[in-house]
Amino acid sequence: MSAIEPVIPRPKRLLTQNARLRRIGVWNWTLPALALRLPDGRTVRTCPSAGVCAQACYARAGTYTWPVVAAKHAANLAFVLDDPHGWEKAMLAELAAPRFTGAWVRIHDSGDFFSDTYLTAWLRIIRARPATYFYCYTKEVDRVRRLVVPDPPGNFRWVFSFGGTQDAELREDDRVADVFPDSDAITEAGWASQEASDLLAVLGPRRVGIPANRLPSARKRLRGRTFRTWQAETTRNRARESGERDAA
């Protein structure tokens, strides 16, 4: 699809503030969670390394499913895909506004760095706006290690979040976040909580706990586990089942 005939109208604003991030003065950029089928038939996995998190994702329920919200997120994704240079130019122009000087931007209130090209574009944007600070949660461990870790921008922070298919690649010295059943479970595990401010995920201690969302369906699936233990359990079960099939 050409850039002059977009599938979905371009979003008027790229950076917004949800209620939780507005309270701490953080702006956010959002894509659809997990995957989206666009009107022209393309299916894009926006969270390619999602694991068990997909079964209890806060961004696949509640206000994220409202038609106006879902349409905005779809428009963001279509802009990135159909006109990546135009999207990058528009993002740089928006970030030039005085309100972003000294401000924090969370990349992906939902979604993730779904390709090398997309992450590289963000790195160019981040470096071009040194007066703004950027952070993210990500499950794209390999992609970040290859493209960010060797030469990270000074105004960019990231935290690897458990619950993805690359959990096994995480190291002891990585900054990590895990979803816990509740705040008491975070304290009992000796982890720090980001409940007071989302920025604590990248500015606080390296092991950060997030209380699970209150959706009954998500809590039922979690069954008192953390995303880390749930993902490890799922990986072991799949390995055992695969071994049993091979032996049959």
130 and 92 in contact (C-beta within 8 Å)? no
- Round to whole Å and give the CA distance between 208 and 164: 16
pTM score of the predicted model:
0.92
Supply the pLDDT for residue 218.
80
Beta strand 43-45 with 207-211 is unpaired
- Round to whole Å and give the CA distance between 10 and 57: 26
**Average confidence (pLDDT) per 10 residues, the chain, 248 residues:** 55 91 96 93 96 91 89 95 96 98 97 98 98 98 98 98 98 97 96 97 97 83 94 90 72
Supply the pLDDT for residue 242.
73
Supply the pLDDT for residue 248.
66
> Which residues have a Cβ under 8 Å from the Cβ of 51 and sit 6 or more positions away?
139, 163, 164, 165, 167, 231, 234
Strand partners, 208: 177, 192
Supply the pLDDT for residue 151.
97
